[in-house]
A and B are shown apart, each in its own frame.
Chain A
Amino acid sequence: MKYRILISALLLAGLWSCQPEINEFEPSKGNADFTTYMTAGNSLTAGYADNALYKSAQENSFSKMLAEQMEFVGRQGSFNIPYINTEDGVGTGGGMLFTKLKMGFTTDCLGVTSLGPVRANPNATQQELAVLLGTPVADQGPFHNIGVPGAKVTHLLAPGYGSMNPYYGRFASAPGNAVIDEIALVKPTFFTLWIGNNDVLSYALAGGAADQITPLEGIPGVGFAASLEAVLMTFKATATAGAIANIPNITDIPYFTTVPYNIIALSEQGMVDQLNAGYAPYNGAMQQFGLDYRINFALGANPLVIHDPTIQVPPGYEALQIRQIKAGELVLLSIPQDSIKCAYWGSLKPIPDAYILDEKEITDIDNAVTGYNQAIKAAAEKYELAYVDMNAVLKQGSSGGIVMDGVSFSNTFVTGNAFSTDGVHLTPQGNALAANTFIDAINKKYNASIPKVNVAQYNAVVLP
């Protein structure tokens, strides 16, 4: 009898607590209403990565991650994304279309093969890429993600912007629409906005040689602050809550920090002497002009020789508008490395201005970013929005690095895990980091509990 009781007790004890239960986190919407979530912004919001828009990158955008996590706190219905029907992607730059970058092997002019970004399909024709990009998808709308690659805050207000930017044109619900006109079709209750990067990046990506920085002041459509407010007011017509992210400093983005300023490595004294002899007339001329510029080479790492059209030389001496780059100045990732290695760029030939951000350009950019971020913070306060300090996160990434679930993030190109092969846009893991940064800010502002995403479940840069 006692034996039987004991057996029953054992069985009961076993069944009673088979899998230990944990319930430390109860998702909650707090003071916000996440029923209908909508997001606007630029390429980062759209899910542009690896220098192109492609479907799986759109699926791995931080905004889609947010939409999924918001399902735990009351988001209803589908989250429509204007998917592009290609995995090779379509990117734009310099008036050309191309497929995305991926990691592959390339052989340089010296015959050295190494791993680096290559085009997914170098044989894709302009025509077929134009068809992929131009195929309208508006009939699948209205869209909850209206991020437009290349868009500045001023562009979001521009009627007919779709005719200027095919990334919007492909999903614009009407040809004459401005991007913000899409908002009323969705009637969001909650929104996120991450915009302003291109207002300064377009200038920076061109090495300061083309485009211009959006001024902070000015009427909507011209000035940054007023345009931002116009977008926010459009959202606030239906949305009672939202989040707005600020923009990173360019010195935290690998596109601007990967190529060192002193990349010219000299190991032979003969070469040093030859270069110095070659630049002796330049140094003499500069002395004559009363200018402080001198070009000197030594054994070891040497700063690049760059073209600088701001150097004031007497008329007819424009060929001497060159100098050695300074330590704080930035060389863009787009610089053709083969030209440095084999065509004497940076030593015998000056690097074209478009690959360099000089001191003044950097200062202009830094000032613009500071001004934008002040405007974004002020707007967050005025419209009672969650303020997402993405700038601080990226700064942390470039100073000490960020570790999350065993993933180490930094602003190192490719191996830093955060940035994709274009050095500007985020990897899926970088998007997960961005999504968690949004979630932290939203949870804090609205006393909500949106569960975070797992960064380790997403990929960093995929290697062959």
Chain B
Amino acid sequence: MRLQSSRSTGMGLTGTGLQLGASSMFFNPGALSMMETKTDFSIGVSGIISKISFQKTGQNLVSETDNKLSTPFYVYGAGKIGEKWAVGLAIYTPYGSSAEWESGWEGRLLIQNIALQAIFFQPTVSYQITDKLGIGAGLVYTSGSVKLEKGLNYGQDTYVELDGSASSLGFNLGAFYSATEKLSIGINYRSKIMMDVSGGDAKFHVPVSVGTNIPTENKFSASLPLPGNLDFGVSYQATEKLLLAAEVNWVMWGVYETLEFTFEEKGELLNSKSPREYKDTFIPRIGAEYKLNDMFTFRAGAYYDQSPTNEIYFTPETVSLNNLAFTLGVGIHPTERLSIDLSYLQISGLGAEKNYQPDNFGGTYKSAAFIPGFGLSYRF
């Protein structure tokens, strides 16, 4: 989820080909050196209200998730040094998901609830090579956590709790080219980040007699890949008031082949390796911005995000469907320096019958997310 600029969110989450000020540190560090003001501070937050419904194959009842409100945020500060250079720090949370299924639901042995969180710190430097071309790079330090609960088949109230954290490094490279007065082109690469959890806490809530085989307190390791992205975007100032943007994101989900858990004790019994077999996806996005007057700007956009999951390895732990999304936004500029951006993103996860073959668990999933967002930028 790239909710890293409320303005971008309003425009279908485009941004690689846009000049977004300090937010460009995420979308395209190459554009940072070409920002219009000397200094830019931006903050923003979104509230993800998401729902998943599931109907098992051959069944009439529908299970639902009761997901906690997740609130990704961003904080950016950037400034120019001389004419050519710009530096800044970006703090943002691009990956975060949570799903809490009803207690005792049909898939309790696959997942009961899960919460993934990651916060990214990205010091960034950008250099303007010519009037038209800027490049930039950021070093990404990531700190994340995963927490999940999964039922065990020793009775309805038996389960395992896994709680771990990881930190890792990655990078973010971008180039921004203002081809003409009206046309800009951007390219951005954000590296894959392996979140290697080690020494995470594993608690097995099992009957006492099982405790001799399965220690109730254990440590686990796991690797969760956050995929790399290669984004290509353009923007076009169609009229004085109308800005159009389009882009495509290549999300390299192919790295997510298996989910492996390794346990410190009784590994021979507990270690697991489950296929995921994700595939890379391409997300096309379009967005538009209409400047009504000096005070108000209106935005809209849409995108289609194909599910990276494998047909036979689709698990309810991360219900990722083909998503069709529409966005709306409004920018309010009470002063020249201050802008307030409101955005709204609505995602419909298109209903589809999916299976996780190793557990013979399948049914129809459908999801929806409603994401209001708010951002503040102060530029001078």
Contact = CB atoms under 8 A, between A and B. Distances in A.
Interface of A: 2-3, 6, 9-10, 13-14, 17-27, 72, 103, 105, 115, 402-407, 417, 429, 439, 451-452, 454, 456-457, 459-460, 462-464
A25 B59 contact: yes
B58 A452 contact: yes
B22 interface: no
Chain B contact residues, majority secondary structure: strand
Interface residues of B, number: 49
B344 A10 contact: yes
A22 B55 contact: yes
B287 to A, nearest CB: 16
A464 B207 contact: yes
Contacts of B364: 22, 24
Given A22-B366, A417-B153, A460-B153, A451 B58 contact: yes
B62 interface: yes
B360 interface: yes
Among B107, B110, B292, B359, chain A packs the most CB atoms within 10 A around the CB of B359
17 contacts: A6-B330, A19-B51, A20-B52, A22-B54, A22-B351, A23-B55, A24-B55, A115-B209, A403-B359, A405-B359, A407-B109, A451-B59, A457-B106, A457-B108, A460-B153, A463-B209, A464-B207
Contacts of A464: 207-209
A18 B59 CA distance: 22
Contacts of A406: 107-110, 151, 153, 359-361
Nearest to B370: A14
A179 B372 CA distance: 66
A24 B364 CA distance: 8
Interface in B321-380: 328, 330, 344, 346, 348-349, 351, 353, 358-361, 363-364, 366-368, 370, 372
A456 B207 CA distance: 17
Given A6-B328, A19-B51, A451-B61, A456 B106 contact: yes
Contacts of A9: 328
B358 A457 contact: no
Nearest to A436: B58
Contact of B60 (A19, A27, A405): A27
A51 to B, nearest CB: 19
A25 B153 contact: no
Contacts of B59: 25, 451-452, 454
Given A463-B210, A464-B208, A17 B368 contact: yes
A20 B366 contact: yes
B64 A19 contact: yes
Contacts of A26: 60
A452 B362 CA distance: 13
Residue from A21, A105, A406 whose CB has the most chain B CB atoms within 10 Å = A406
B147 interface: no
B312 to A, nearest CB: 13
B57 to A, nearest CB: 8
Contact of B328 (A10, A27, A407): A10
Contact of A405 (B155, B328, B353, B360): B360
Q: By CB atoms of chain A within 10 A, which of B107, B209, B363 has the most?
A: B209
B53 A459 contact: no
B177 interface: no
B156 interface: yes
A459 B64 contact: no
Contacts of A462: 155, 207
Contact of B292 (A2, A457, A463): A2
Contacts of A417: 153
B74 interface: no
Contacts of A451: 58-61
B154 A405 contact: no
Contact of A21 (B153, B154, B208, B366): B366
Nearest to B372: A10
A9 B327 CA distance: 12
Contacts of B361: 405-406
B298 interface: yes
A429 B358 CA distance: 18
Contacts of B156: 457, 459
A3 B208 CA distance: 62
A198 to B, nearest CB: 30
Interface string B157-189: 000000000000000000000000000000000
Nearest to A18: B51
B301 to A, nearest CB: 14
B53 A456 contact: no
B261 interface: no
Given A10-B344, A405-B360, A25 B58 contact: yes
Nearest to A10: B344
Contacts of B106: 405, 454, 456-457
A264 to B, nearest CB: 27
A27 B107 CA distance: 21
B192 interface: no
A295 to B, nearest CB: 38
A456 B330 contact: no
